[in-house]
Structure 1
């Protein structure tokens, strides 16, 4: 059995998130997803997520393509997470290309292209411009 691991904030879940998770799962038999903690999201993006880590974790766990979910506390612990979950492949979006090549000593690293014309930031901006009811 090949275990694939990936990570993300997954705030305001959208089609790009679903597509990258489906494509990640295609690299193995089991997909483990690390959802960034609220504190980690604040440190890497400078803002709190719209939905809490508990809500985001529940959303990701509900997806059929996902086998296991955990809270990611630190970017620096990627290798520890890879070992803890027995990952054979780390999949990340290509916006992280090269940043996790050092993990190659523990498992294969694959960077997948993002879904064109979709991002959480763009979705949040679009929602904020909608007229209020």
Structure 2
């Protein structure tokens, strides 16, 4: 039997924290399915991505730990996705601790520690605070 892991995220400005989380999630099973938040869903959440949805899908698809990428269009789709993909484990970063425990009726729910000192929000703040450079 294939043990399938499922996770979700925006994965904007793909960085080492994303890679390490995906690697640890993949280590929990045989296949890792990743729901990538659409630009429209991010808008509903009050977020605006720097990298367009189609490009984030392409980036995730190239990651060696990811077996399948699909669109995350809304909050309530998670139980249906878990059933549709026959996922055994739902995993998220520890910043979501407790938020998805309600899914434990249909699969195991785990929260993995985030990579310290790296996040998309920190990257955006760093870039905005950095003086402009010319590379000509």
Query: What TM-score comes out, normalization by structure 1 length?
Result: 0.96
Hey, what's the Cα distance between the residues in 1 that align with 2:39 and 2:11? 11
Hey, what's the Cα distance between the residues in 2 that align with 1:2 and 1:18? 20
Q: Unaligned 5+ residue runs, structure 2?
A: none
Hey, what's the Cα distance between the residues in 2 that align with 1:111 and 1:118? 17
Equivalent residue number for residue 66 of structure 2? 66
Q: Unaligned 5+ residue runs, structure 1?
A: none
Hey, what's the Cα distance between the residues in 2 that align with 1:101 and 1:126? 33
Aligned length: 132
Write out per-residue CA displacement over residues 52-94 of structure 1, whole angstroms, 9 at most, x where no aligned residue.
1100000000001100000100112110111111100000111
Q: Tell me the CA shift for residue 129 of structure 1.
A: 2.0
Equivalent residue number for residue 15 of structure 2? 14
Equivalent residue number for residue 28 of structure 1? 29
Query: What TM-score comes out, normalization by structure 2 length?
Result: 0.94
Write out per-residue CA displacement over residues 73-117 of structure 1, whole angstroms, 9 at most, x where no aligned residue.
011211011111110000011111111111111110000011111
Q: Which runs of 4+ in 1 moved over 4 A?
A: none
Q: Are 2:118 and 1:118 equivalent residues in the alignment? A: yes
Bigger-Rg structure (1/2): 2
Equivalent residue number for residue 79 of structure 1? 79
Q: Are 2:89 and 1:89 equivalent residues in the alignment? A: yes
Q: Tell me the CA shift for residue 127 of structure 1.
A: 1.2
